[in-house]
């Protein structure tokens, strides 16, 4: 992937500023040794609404920019979060991470 391809993918979402903010928040997270960012945290940080975030995240996933996994929101916070690639309905929450190709482009390690 090139920066030009990344830029095009961000523009193709129709919400470039939100898409850019999500990608760059994920890159910042890698710098802090985080595996990614969940929807609730990003919503609080960014001020964007959940529906728009989910829409942009789906477009970025299709473009190979991010991966979306789900965690079970019904377990207590102190228990291990079980991740998966399929939503489990209303109890599952989205968790975003950059794909390996974008990490390589941005020279970030996970």
Phi, psi of 81 (to 5 degrees): -85, 125
Q: For residue 17, tell me if it sits in a domain.
A: yes
Residue-level pLDDT at 8 = 97
82 phi, psi to nearest 5 deg: -90, 120
Tell me the CATH number at 89. Answer: 1.10.10.10
Q: What is the pLDDT of residues 12-65, one digit of tens each?
A: 999 999 999 999 999 999 999 998 999 999 999 999 999 999 999 999 999 999
DSSP-assigned letter for residue 54 = H
Q: Tally the domains of the chain.
A: 1
**110 in a domain, yes or no?**
no
Range of the domain at 35: 3-105
Would you place residue 108 in the very low, low, confident or very high pLDDT band (cuts 50, 70, 90)? confident
Is the overall model pTM greater than 0.95, yes or no?
no
């Amino acid at each position: 992937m090139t920066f030009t391809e990344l830029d095009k993918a961000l523009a193709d979402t129709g919400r470039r500023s939100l898409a850019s903010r999500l990608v760059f928040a994920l890159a910042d997270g890698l710098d802090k040794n985080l595996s990614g960012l969940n929807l609730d945290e990003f919503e609080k940080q960014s001020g964007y609404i959940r529906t728009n975030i989910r829409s942009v995240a789906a477009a970025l996933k299709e473009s190979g920019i991010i991966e979306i996994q789900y965690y079970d929101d019904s377990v207590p916070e102190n228990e291990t979060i079980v991740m998966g690639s399929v939503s489990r309905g209303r109890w599952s929450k989205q968790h975003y991470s950059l794909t390996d190709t974008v990490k390589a482009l941005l020279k970030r390690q996970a």
